[in-house]
Amino acid sequence: MISFSNVSFYYKNNLTDKGNLNNINLEIKDGELIVLTGESGCGKTTFTRLLNGLAPNYYHGTVSGKLMMDGENIIGKSVSELGRKVGSVFQNPRSQFFNVDTDSELAFAAENIAMDPKEILKRLDEVTNMLDLKELRGRSIFELSGGEKQRIACGSVAVMHPKVVVLDEPSSNLDSASIDKLKNVIETWKNLGKTVIIAEHRLYYLKDLADRLIVIKDGTIAKEYSKETLANIDDQLKDMGLRPLCEPKIKTISAECNSRDQINIEELDYSYDRKTSALLLKETVLPMNQVTAIVGQNGTGKSTFLKCLCGIYKAKKDKILLSGRVWDRKLRNKACYLVFQDVNHQLFTESVLDELIIGMSKDISENEKRTEASNILERFGLLDVADNHPMALSGGQKQRVAIASSIASGRDILLMDEPTSGMDELNMMRLSKELGRLKEMGKTVYVVTHDYEFINECCDSVIRLE
Amino acid sequence: MKKTDPRTKLFLLIAINVVMMTGKITGIFVPIRIILTLIPLLLMIREKWYRSSLLYFLAYLYVFLLEGYTLQDIPKVPLIILLFTTGLISRFLAGLMMAYYMMKTTTVSEFVTAMERMHIPKVVVIPFAVMFRFFPTIKEEWQDIKNAMKMRGIGLAGRNPLDVLEYVMVPILMSVSRIADELTAASMTKCLSVDGKRSHIACIGFSALDVLLIICAVLGLFAHFFVGGIIGA
């Protein structure tokens, strides 16, 4: 059993109150599956960090209260000591592997506690069967997709036979098929009687599994729902700015194209290694002057498609027409603006405001640029951080800055790769509104996304890549 | 097929580099150089890297066939080209391929296991192991940043080069340090620490081939240091 009594945690060197926890009281029974949710920065991640010991051992701060696990106060215990009992899966699949190959990674934790190699090999086989990892064994980490990496991360935790598993937004980089697989893994753990604690903002995949849903707001427990009451709380969640529990379905949207302008892709063929095609499109029509969603499973080349379309990638065969005229790579590069999936690579300047101004057209005066940039920032709720360094922002804020600078660029065609991955309900609605505004201005937006709620909110048509 | 031991690879790398780079090329060093040249070739063929093996073989064939002409009376321009290319290939290529082979065929856990068998302390081993992982990561990050700069129209033209450097270095350092930070946290939860014993599932050990290769390398080094292989000695 895990029990929090009057647990508070305040991060060191934290200017805002973000992520802090105030006076938490909670009991978690053995074998329970708890889902923690709340807006970004509410403290749900801190919850998981207290359980695996990263707070206060690695993320420093002041902690008070008692956190008991199996009759022992675990506050003050070292991370590696807790690691024998508590397994952790993190949000970013790119940064949680120590090794370069999957087999070493699966065995890594067990090796670190000097487990007998024979036992490790036995457990590797067991976990491979249990979590269906056969085709991922013996591969390089760098050739796996995000979903596959996350499964290996779960596997490397399972090898330790932990009593407790904590997951910090494990689904945020995954598509719906990978989320289904993740769900299976979590279900397996639940059936094995492990205590599972998941901090998440995407909730639908946990609906059937959760024993309790806990909403955290400003570092305190705002609301607690038991399994029985989970069925009808979507409206309440929405009011609190949270994602719904029901799996959203794409409304049937006509893929018909009303506008006169359109992009015709006659042929687009791109491959990374000159052998297998990563993307092969023929005779495809993209509607213009509206918001179009591009969906499809991981690995169908959605991101590759955007990069080819805006001219960053050079396709082997590349024949695209804009309103009947040849539209080559150079022209596309000038007309399009792509917001990348990983926002950490696309912010370059020293302040959020500069970030928007740097990409603006050179014809406008400096003053006008500033006003326009401030307006855009306000619409994204970023005005109060306008003078901050972009790299000092939270992930969700960076994402909004990147999107805001794409809008500031004034280009006619905007491409966005998973723009809502780190967004709570409030910010997702902000973005939807903004895209509606762009549409009214006659701009064209293509979004690669698997956020169906977002699609229903603002997309005019949906294209599925197979 | 038993894999070559990481310690053998490391020793071969050192031996090949020392002898090939700084050694003499005449007398008994002709057969020694041939043997040391053949080692990476043999290892590559064993890994079924046929294309690389062939290119490597052709490069050395070129050297062995034409090196002799540099001592003869031939016109200046071809002489310079010949001296330059044969010198470069014969002195560097074998070591380079050996390093490539070592990086490609050694997993992090094999490397760590080997280092620990040699009783090298963990504080030295762990940073090395992380380095293995960071080269491809930095490459990935750099690619992404380059693309993003292109997208945003931040190019070299018309800008202060110092600004451009800042635009490149800041995101790269930020994102690499963020990855390092998250990686440390993740590794800690997996019980990695500098003290305490580890076990290993990586099977490493010396086979007959290892012994043979080590004998070749030792002979090469012996000749190099004691039979006057060092240039100028």
CATH code for the domain of A419: 3.40.50.300
Residue B138: what are its φ and ψ, rounded to 5°? -60, -40
- Strand, helix or coil for residue A315: coil
The amino acid that residue A146 corresponds to is G
A228 shares its domain with A287: no
Report CB contact under 8 Å: A104, B191: no
Length of chain B: 233
CB A164 within 8 A of CB A69: yes
Separation of alpha carbons B193 and A58, rounded Å: 13
Residues of A in contact with B138 (CB under 8 A): none
Range of the domain at B148: 121-189
Judge whether A134 is closer than 8 Å to chain B, CB to CB.
Answer: no
Q: How is B140-179 classified by DSSP, letter by letter?
A: HHHHHHHHHHHHTT--STTS-HHHHHHHHHHHHHHHHHHH
Separation of alpha carbons A26 and B54, rounded Å: 67
CB neighbour list of residue A219: distance below 8 Å, 6 or more residues apart: A17, A19, A20, A21, A22, A42, A43, A46
Range of the domain at A177: 2-239
The amino acid that residue A101 corresponds to is D
Residue A134: both structure tokens together: 């056969």
Whether B41 is covered by a domain: the verdict is yes
Q: Place B13 in a pLDDT band, splitting at 50, 70 and 90.
A: very high
- Is the predicted pLDDT of residue B233 greater than 60, yes or no? no
A118 shares its domain with A192: yes
Judge whether B104 is closer than 8 Å to chain A, CB to CB.
Answer: no
Name the average pLDDT for chain A: 87
Distances (CA, A) of A89 to A93, A132, A166, A170: 9, 17, 6, 7
Please tell me the predicted confidence (pLDDT) of residue A274: 61
In the predicted model, what is the mean pLDDT of residues A118-127?
95
In the predicted model, what is the mean pLDDT of residues B211-231?
85
- Is the predicted pLDDT of residue A60 greater than 70, yes or no? yes
Please tell me the predicted confidence (pLDDT) of residue A300: 75
Please tell me the predicted confidence (pLDDT) of residue A204: 86
In the predicted model, what is the mean pLDDT of residues B77-104?
89
| Closest chain B residue to A122, measured at CA | B201
Q: Which of residues 34-53 of A touch B (CB under 8 A)?
A: 52-53
CB A70 within 8 A of CB B153: no
Separation of alpha carbons A171 and A183, rounded Å: 9
Please tell me the predicted confidence (pLDDT) of residue A421: 79
Whether A248 is covered by a domain: the verdict is no
In the predicted model, what is the mean pLDDT of residues A300-324?
85
Percent of chain B with pLDDT over 70: 96
Tally of CB atoms within 10 A around B177 = 11
A198 shares its domain with A299: no
Please tell me the predicted confidence (pLDDT) of residue A129: 93
Residue of B228, B147, B140, B184 lying closest to A314 (CA atoms)? B147
In the predicted model, what is the mean pLDDT of residues A57-69?
93
Residue B127: both structure tokens together: 């940073």
B96 shares its domain with B141: no
Q: Which of residues 358-397 of A touch B (CB under 8 A)?
A: 358-359, 391
Q: How many DSSP H helices and E strands does chain B contain?
A: 9, 0
Whether A266 is covered by a domain: the verdict is yes
- Is the predicted pLDDT of residue B115 greater than 70, yes or no? yes
Q: End-to-end alpha-carbon separation of chain B, Å?
A: 42
- Is the predicted pLDDT of residue B155 greater than 80, yes or no? no
Separation of alpha carbons B41 and B43, rounded Å: 5
Q: Place A252 in a pLDDT band, splitting at 50, 70 and 90.
A: low
The amino acid that residue A44 corresponds to is K
Q: Which of residues 171-190 of B touch A (CB under 8 A)?
A: 171, 174-175, 178-179, 182-190
Whether B178 is covered by a domain: the verdict is yes
Among A258-267, A352-361, A409-418, B186-195, whose mean pLDDT is lowest?
A258-267
Separation of alpha carbons B102 and B9, rounded Å: 6
CB neighbour list of residue A129: distance below 8 Å, 6 or more residues apart: none
- Is the predicted pLDDT of residue A453 greater than 80, yes or no? yes
Please tell me the predicted confidence (pLDDT) of residue A389: 87
Q: Are strands A195-199 and A212-217 parallel, antiparallel or unpaired?
A: unpaired
Residue A96: what are its φ and ψ, rounded to 5°? -115, 15
Judge whether B129 is closer than 8 Å to chain A, CB to CB.
Answer: yes
Residue B5 is given by DSSP the state: P
**Residue-wise pLDDT tens digits, B124-135:** 888 888 888 888
- Is the predicted pLDDT of residue B229 greater than 70, yes or no? no
Biggest CA-to-CA distance, chain A: 73
Residue that the structure tokens 């902000």 belong to: A430
Whether B112 is covered by a domain: the verdict is no
Sheet hosting strand A164-168, strand order edge to edge: A86-89, A164-168, A195-199, A33-37, A212-217, A220-226
A299 shares its domain with A417: yes
Please tell me the predicted confidence (pLDDT) of residue B172: 83
- Closest Cα in chain B, distance from residue A210 (Å): 24
A210 shares its domain with A268: no
B176 shares its domain with B208: no
A235 shares its domain with A270: no
- Is the predicted pLDDT of residue B49 greater than 70, yes or no? yes
Please tell me the predicted confidence (pLDDT) of residue B189: 93
Separation of alpha carbons A259 and A267, rounded Å: 22
Between A247 and A441, where is the model more confident? A441
- Is the predicted pLDDT of residue A253 greater than 60, yes or no? no
Residue A339 is given by DSSP the state: E
Residues of B in contact with A404 (CB under 8 A): none
- Is the predicted pLDDT of residue A259 greater than 60, yes or no? no
- Is the predicted pLDDT of residue A190 greater than 90, yes or no? yes
Q: Which of residues 285-304 of A touch B (CB under 8 A)?
A: none
Q: End-to-end alpha-carbon separation of chain A, Å?
A: 46
Please tell me the predicted confidence (pLDDT) of residue A347: 85
CB B52 within 8 A of CB B101: no
Cα A426 from chain centroid (whole Å): 16
Whether A245 is covered by a domain: the verdict is no
- Is the predicted pLDDT of residue A272 greater than 80, yes or no? no
Please tell me the predicted confidence (pLDDT) of residue A344: 78
Please tell me the predicted confidence (pLDDT) of residue B7: 92
Percent of chain A with pLDDT over 90: 44
| Closest chain B residue to A389, measured at CA | B170
Report CB contact under 8 Å: B148, A346: yes
Please tell me the predicted confidence (pLDDT) of residue A280: 80
What's the domain count of chain B?
2
CB B223 within 8 A of CB B229: yes
Name the average pLDDT for chain B: 85
Helical (H) or strand (E) element with A401: helix A395-408
Judge whether B130 is closer than 8 Å to chain A, CB to CB.
Answer: yes
B99 shares its domain with B208: yes
A285 shares its domain with A402: yes
Chain B interface test: which of A120, A122, A346 (most B C-beta within 10 Å)? A346
Torsion of CA A331, A335, A340, A346, to 10 degrees: 100
- Is the predicted pLDDT of residue A289 greater than 70, yes or no? yes
- Is the predicted pLDDT of residue A374 greater than 80, yes or no? yes
- Is the predicted pLDDT of residue A324 greater than 70, yes or no? yes
Among A274-288, A369-383, B37-51, whose mean pLDDT is lowest?
A274-288
* Facing residue for A79 by CB, picked from B179, B188, B197: B188
CB A341 within 8 A of CB A92: no
B86 shares its domain with B137: no
In the predicted model, what is the mean pLDDT of residues A267-280?
74
Whether B194 is covered by a domain: the verdict is no
Please tell me the predicted confidence (pLDDT) of residue A298: 67
Exposed, middle or buried: residue A370 (CB in 10 Å: 0-12, 13-18, 19+)?
middle
Residue of B155, B134, B137 lying closest to B146 (CA atoms)? B155
Q: Place A256 in a pLDDT band, splitting at 50, 70 and 90.
A: low
- Is the predicted pLDDT of residue A216 greater than 90, yes or no? yes
Whether A140 is covered by a domain: the verdict is yes
Chain B interface test: which of A50, A52, A80 (most B C-beta within 10 Å)? A80
Helices (H), A339-394: 352-357, 366-379
Separation of alpha carbons A359 and A373, rounded Å: 10
Sheet hosting strand A262-270, strand order edge to edge: A279-287, A262-270, A317-322, A325-326
A416 shares its domain with A303: yes
What's the domain count of chain A?
2
Please tell me the predicted confidence (pLDDT) of residue B156: 60
Residue of A85, A72, A71, A69 lying closest to A161 (CA atoms)? A85
Whether B33 is covered by a domain: the verdict is yes
Whether B115 is covered by a domain: the verdict is no
- Size of the A and B interface in Cβ pairs below 8 Å: 157
* Facing residue for B108 by CB, picked from A86, A100, A121: A100
Whether A215 is covered by a domain: the verdict is yes
Please tell me the predicted confidence (pLDDT) of residue B26: 77
State ipTM. Answer: 0.81
* Facing residue for A92 by CB, picked from B140, B182, B187: B182
